Each structure stands twice: as structure tokens, then as C-alpha cells.
Amino acid sequence: MSYKKLLVLSAALPWLLIAPFSLAAEADCVECHDSAPYSADHMEVDEVSVESCTMCHEAASDDLFFIAVHKQHAEEPGCEHCHADVDDARKAKLQDLLPQ
């Protein structure tokens, strides 16, 4: 295993242990995308999925993946496509997180 993969795996290990209890996304990127739309300077990814992206990216107002996914998909296909527990409080929290 390469040093880079080992480093990513060790950083993601705590998240992997709690992810089943905290991640509310039920859909996956490959339902609509054949490949991940990421920049040329991004590390190589082996799969296009919410799980693989959230190994490094977090639900935070300064995370470019989080911002892009939610801004680009808010209207179509909408929150309910990925999240089963969408309510007004969750939508308000998201609006607070996203930069205007």
C-alpha cells in the first residue's frame, strides 16, 4: 500500500467508524455521473461516491466539495434525492453553512 493511501486511510479511520451513524445521504454520485468532476490538481480517485468523497471532505462551510454539491444539486434533483431526513431545520442549517 502506498504511503499516500495509508495516510488517507489513517486520517479517515475515525470517520469510517462513526459514518454509519452520522451520514444521512442515501444516493450515490454514480446514479447520475460517470466520472467525478474534480480539478486536475486533485488526487486520483478510484470511485465516484458520496462515501469516497466524504473520506476527506466534511460538511463545512469552507469545504469546496460540500459547497459545490449542495449548491449545484439544491434545485435538481433536490435534497430528498440524497437525504431521507430533510426537514425545515436541516435546510436552514444548510443555508447557514453555505456561503452566500
Model pLDDT for residues 1-50, shown as the tens digit of each residue = 666 655 555 555 454 443 433 445 566 777 888 877 788 888 888 887 88
Q: What is the pTM of this model?
A: 0.59
Domain boundaries, the chain: 3-97
State the cell numbers at 44.
486520483
Q: Could you give the C-alpha distances from 35 to 45, 80, 94, 97, 100, in angstroms and in order?
A: 10, 22, 26, 27, 28
Contact 35, 48 (CB under 8 A): yes
Alpha helix locations (H) across the chain?
Answer: 3-22, 50-53, 64-73, 79-82, 88-97
